[in-house]
Structure 1
Amino acid sequence: MIGEVEFDSATFRRVLGHYPTGVCVVTASEPGGGPVGMVVGSFTSVSLDPPLVAFFPAKSSSSWPRIKAVGTFCVNVLASDQQPLCRQLAGGAADKFSGVSHRHSANGSPILDGVVAWIDCSLEAVHEAGDHYIVLGRVQALGVERPGPPLLFFQGRYGAFALLD
């Protein structure tokens, strides 16, 4: 039947966990408040013309409303050796950016040191999608910092990418 679910959320999460995702940190700088950021595993390119990307924060996120209020953000693609940074920024510490080195993009958002790549965006649109939002960002600038394998999340664990010939 349409609309009826025949599985629970644990099954949904377990099955979708068989698809690896990259790990990114979305950052912004609050006026007078310093950096704010959130770890996301749901990031994708959307359009080349205009250049759009998307990520999907949970409605329960405490960081997303702060980033939304700024209106600009930077997506930082974490490198495979940045799992400690990921854990620090995903934690609930009051100052989770303590000791995190970064510089600011043209729009003022933190670009984290050592990331594989960064994508600087202005907020294009936000759409509700169940218990998450679909956030579209218009790419203003981007760059590769350190070519190499990104940090991946797969079946509840972190890992790295290996190229096959």
Structure 2
Amino acid sequence: MSSLSTEPTDPSLLRRAFSCFPSGVTAVCASDSGTPVGMAASTFTPVSLAPPLVLVCIQDTSTTWPRLRERHRLGLSVLAEGQDGICRSLADGEGDRFAGIDWEADDDGSVYIHNASLWLACSPYAELPGGDHTIVLLEIHGLKAEPDREPLVFHGSRFRRLAV
């Protein structure tokens, strides 16, 4: 390996470096007085089986997370191949993020995106500081998996398909 030559202080260089790692894309959503509220999160990781925990990382500048963290239950949808438009809509800070998106809400206020590959009913468990992000641990209370649905993959700052 050649020696490392660049200090990791340039945000654009770090974004480019982090884009070398493919990730799935999730939607974290809930109902607020009957209106869906949600956001896209590309940093998602299973954490623990007992208790069942996953994590997402949320930018500290998010105006959506403060609304979601107050909800009793959150729906986490792991987006499937072809749902890149949904991801873009949920990541957009302007307008109705749910326009044209098929979704449903449980009685507990969790909101799920139709045709996702995984749905998790979660509640906020803990938050940890993570630089310019907050690491959010979510406890899983229920799930529905569709493992035959191909995932939405984000790599190199683009959406990609898995080769079969």
Provide TM-score, normalisation by structure 2. Answer: 0.89
Q: Secondary structure at the match of 1:57?
A: strand
Aligned to 2:52: 51
Paired residue type of 2:14: F
Within a 5 Å distance, the mapping from 1:1-165 to structure 2 comes to: 6-7=7-8, 8-30=10-32, 32=33, 34-105=35-106, 107-145=108-146, 147-163=148-164
Distance 1:43 1:107 in 2: 23
CA contact (8 A) 1:117 1:143 kept: yes
Deviation, 1:97, is 1.1
Distance 1:145 1:103 in 2: 16
Deviation, 1:106, is 5.0
Paired residue type of 1:65: P
Give structure 2 stretches of 5+ with no counterpart: 1-5
Matched-pair identity in % = 37
Q: Secondary structure at the match of 1:138?
A: strand
Q: Secondary structure at the match of 1:96?
A: coil
Give structure 1 stretches of 5+ with no counterpart: none
Distance 2:163 2:148 in 1: 14
Distance 2:76 2:161 in 1: 19
Paired residue type of 2:122: C
Distance 2:160 2:149 in 1: 13
Q: Secondary structure at the match of 2:15?
A: helix
Root-mean-square deviation over aligned CA pairs:
1.6
Provide TM-score, normalisation by structure 1. Answer: 0.89
Q: Secondary structure at the match of 2:59?
A: coil
